[in-house]
Amino acid sequence: MTKAELDVFSVLAAREGTAVAMPPMKDARLGASTFFASALPHDICGSNGLPLTPNSIKILGRFQILKTVSHPRLCRYVDISRGKHERLIVVAEHYERSLEDFQRAGKPVSQDKVLQVAYEILEGLEFMNKHGMMHRALAPRNVLMDCRGNVKLAKFGLYHMTNHGADVDFPIGYPSYLAPEVIAKGPSRPSDCSHGELPRPSGPKVDVWSLGILLFELCVGRRLLQSFDISERLKFILTLGCMDDIVTVLAEEHGCLDVIKELPENVLTLLRKCLTFQPSRRPTPSELLKDPALQEVSHLYTPFRKPVSLFSSSLRCAYLELPEDISELCQDEGEEYLAERSIEEVYHLWCLAGGDLEKELTNKEIIQSKPPICTLPNFLLEDGECFGQGRDRSFLLDDTTITLSLCQLKNRLKDVTGEAYYPLLDDEQSSLPQSNSSSELSAAVALPLVIRERDTEYQLLRIVLFDRLLQAYPYKKNQVWKEARVDIPPLLRGLTWAALLGIEGDIQAKYDGIDKDTPIPTDRQIEVDIPRCHQYDELLSSPQGHMKFRRVLKAWVVSHPDLVYWQGLDSLCAPFLYLNFNNEALAYACMSAFIPKYLYNFFLKDNSHVIQEYLTVFSQMIAFHDPELSNHLNEIGFIPDIFHLWDTLLLGNSSFPFCIGVAILQQLRDRLLANGFNECILLFSDLPGGGATSSRSTHTTFSRIPEVS
């Protein structure tokens, strides 16, 4: 895949990262699996002179778009965690049942069930293909079944997130289900990509072959090629190219020819289409869905309709439907209320309740520790090359998925009543900010913000309330603002910021209409600033993060011809991109709304007079509130910069940043008065982030004090 093709795919994928209401968790479970990325040499730098980006960070960046891929036939990806030694832990939607259960039964599956499974798998594969993705690991263990018996494809993003297998040391896929062209191509190695030439990825048709093997096993009630070792399996699959009828050959090899002959002709035709040896003659999932055999069951399914995003020109309530029996909305047991929340919310609360991914995997012996003395080499050269180390099998792939227990979370939430999951959005009753949360939270509101953000019960109630308010945006914009005065739940901070900034309309269409491809003089400066200034965060330092930075910044520069790119604009963009990593249009819209409100004319080509005006007003405010501190700062020649406490800042007017600056100086008053210029510089450069909470009330008070002329 060329760089141009990758860029096009990234743009298309970014359009899917819109803010939509997530479906409820229902009977799904949280599953966790782990693998290692390939380790890179430590003594090699990239073309920009910086150390090579670890493969685990590359995978982390590519993973993000998978969180936006939502379809009834796909298990949702929830989160990815990076550990030591390039370990990655993936959290996704999971179910206990899979097609392996049918294999264990050892009996042929009915024709209707085979066609149902085939149709539902193809629905998922077709949706993936539209997003530029292939499964490549299709096998019975990755075809899960929900409580209604519907198919849910698991681990469909492993091939994409690992750069088509180039960033890991293990092959993607299972030997018995690999297509012949995949076997003939051989494994992808990291060294194949060292010169910038990416290996050609597999196409959609490789999954059709895997589907054919899978359906064949369901029809005959047994697994194929189990008497062969791995090398013999691969050779056998390649020799099938010499056969006229692969289905008959497989049946004869496994002694089930009589079972195959009893299958209806339309099912046999479907199997033969899937198991076509030549990829050029094999149909794609989209083409196979039109097969006559599958048309018999297609009427049982309704076409998938993508939910309307929060910021669009479409009517969000157009397809809302109430259940025929209104009693279905009522729940009897409190523990079932949690199933009505999205899987992302449940995972967030699970982490707050003490959930630890590495501990869970260690308890299941998926992660196994080894005594350090057993890892020492027998011989070590001066250049660091080691000899005599046995291969550590713990670094090999274990594709086991464990189910994360929700017992601890449910125990924490056992006292939360059902009414809390469905808060009423009352009309405005006061001009002062009032919280709509239950009265039981009054004591919690007085606690420090850090404690509130780690309180499971409190965050559940705040998330539920903000979710309801945001779904009613912009009608409930004023109530969003009032609740934000109390605090903002971290899980919904990105959407809440957008609401506070007044973002409305079809932001995606506006963003798509901006030319982000034509070279402009600013490109060079952006290319230099991004990798140099944003290595502090794994997500923003990933190649995907750099690419999104470039597009959002360039879109802003192109769409504001009267303004220019100054160093620091990328840092201003960083929090918006971090919170809306999969929604570039929303990140661009937030930044475009923020700058004219709080940094008006700061990015003019000649902005010296604007900066002087800001600093003059700021100095006057310091002198008004603390004359002694103002005189001391003037004596030592120390001119403070402007600081941003984002959550609170977005609630104020255009002059609010000055109040924040004064509040911070007030907090540091004693230390500033006791030091000179150089010490003050060091003080601000080492300033921790913990002072934001204690200064909230201070700068809010300052903002209410009328200035005297």
What is 185-219 written as a DSSP string?
Answer: H----GGGGTTS-PPPPP-THHHHHHHHHHHHHHH
Total-model pTM: 0.84
Whether residues 270 and 136 share a domain: the answer is yes
H or E element at residue 94: strand 87-94
H or E element at residue 386: strand 386-387
Whether residues 668 and 559 share a domain: the answer is no
**8 Å CB contact between 499 and 473:** yes
Rounded Cα distance between 685 and 681, Å, is 6
Check whether 702 has a pLDDT greater than 70: no
Domain ends where: 269, 298, 327? 298
Rounded Cα distance between 232 and 226, Å, is 10
Whether residues 274 and 148 share a domain: the answer is yes
Whether residues 591 and 627 share a domain: the answer is no
**8 Å CB contact between 530 and 546:** yes
Rounded Cα distance between 220 and 652, Å, is 68
165 domain residue, yes or no = yes
Other C-beta atoms lying within 10 Å of the C-beta of residue 491: 21
394 domain residue, yes or no = no
Check whether 18 has a pLDDT greater than 50: no
Mean pLDDT of 6-29: 59
- Show the tokens assigned to 253: 């090899």
**Residue 709 has what pLDDT?**
40
Whether residues 586 and 670 share a domain: the answer is no
Mean pLDDT of 268-283: 95
**Residue 241 has what pLDDT?**
87
409 domain residue, yes or no = no
Whether residues 189 and 287 share a domain: the answer is yes
416 domain residue, yes or no = no
Percent of the chain whose predicted confidence (pLDDT) is above 90: 49
- Over the stretch 71-115, which tens digit does the pLDDT of each residue have? 999 999 999 999 988 999 999 999 999 999 988 888 889 999 999
Q: What CATH number should be reported for the domain holding residue 691?
A: 1.10.472.80
Whether residues 76 and 201 share a domain: the answer is yes
Check whether 393 has a pLDDT greater than 70: no
Could you identify the residue written with the tokens 């496994």?
Answer: 254
520 domain residue, yes or no = yes
**Residue 244 has what pLDDT?**
85
103 domain residue, yes or no = yes
**Residue 583 has what pLDDT?**
94
H or E element at residue 81: strand 77-82
Domain ends where: 298, 327, 349? 298
**8 Å CB contact between 135 and 66:** no
Whether residues 114 and 262 share a domain: the answer is yes
Check whether 578 has a pLDDT greater than 70: yes
Provide the residue type at 287 as one letter.
Answer: E
Tell me, what DSSP letter sits at residue 75?
P
**Residue 334 has what pLDDT?**
44
Tell me, what DSSP letter sits at residue 153?
E
Check whether 385 has a pLDDT greater than 90: no
Whether residues 75 and 187 share a domain: the answer is yes
- Show the tokens assigned to 94: 């999971």
Whether residues 238 and 96 share a domain: the answer is yes
Domain ends where: 240, 268, 298? 298
- Over the stretch 223-238, which tens digit does the pLDDT of each residue have? 998 888 999 999 999 9
**8 Å CB contact between 288 and 208:** yes
| Number of domains within the chain | 3
**Residue 532 has what pLDDT?**
78
Whether residues 162 and 13 share a domain: the answer is yes
Lowest mean pLDDT among 44-53, 190-199, 607-616, 633-642: 190-199
**Residue 197 has what pLDDT?**
54
Rounded Cα distance between 561 and 557, Å, is 7
Q: Which domain holds residue 652?
A: 608-704
**Residue 681 has what pLDDT?**
66
182 burial level (CB within 10 Å; 0-12, 13-18, 19+)? buried
**Residue 431 has what pLDDT?**
37
H or E element at residue 33: strand 29-36
- Over the stretch 490-529, which tens digit does the pLDDT of each residue have? 999 999 999 999 999 889 999 999 999 999 999 998 888 8
Tell me, what DSSP letter sits at residue 402?
E
Residue 76 phi, psi (nearest 5):
-70, 135
- Mean pLDDT estimate for the chain: 83
- Show the tokens assigned to 163: 């750069």
- Write b or e for each residue in 444-456: b if 16 or more Cβ atoms lie within 10 A of its Cβ, otherwise e: beeeebeebbebb
Rounded Cα distance between 80 and 67, Å, is 10
266 domain residue, yes or no = yes
Q: What CATH number should be reported for the domain holding residue 7?
A: 1.10.510.10
Rounded Cα distance between 432 and 474, Å, is 19
Mean pLDDT of 186-213: 76
Lowest mean pLDDT among 161-175, 185-199, 201-215, 642-656: 642-656
Lowest mean pLDDT among 285-289, 385-389, 549-553: 385-389
Question: How sure is the predictor about 48, in pLDDT bands with cuts at 50, 70 and 90?
Answer: low
Higher pLDDT, 30 or 416: 30
**Residue 689 has what pLDDT?**
52
**Residue 691 has what pLDDT?**
47
Mean pLDDT of 605-617: 81
Whether residues 69 and 124 share a domain: the answer is yes
Q: What CATH number should be reported for the domain holding residue 569?
A: 1.10.8.270
Check whether 188 has a pLDDT greater than 90: no
35 domain residue, yes or no = yes
**Residue 125 has what pLDDT?**
97
**8 Å CB contact between 63 and 161:** yes
Mean pLDDT of 680-693: 59
Could you identify the residue written with the tokens 């196409």?
Answer: 203
Strand, coil or helix: 338: helix
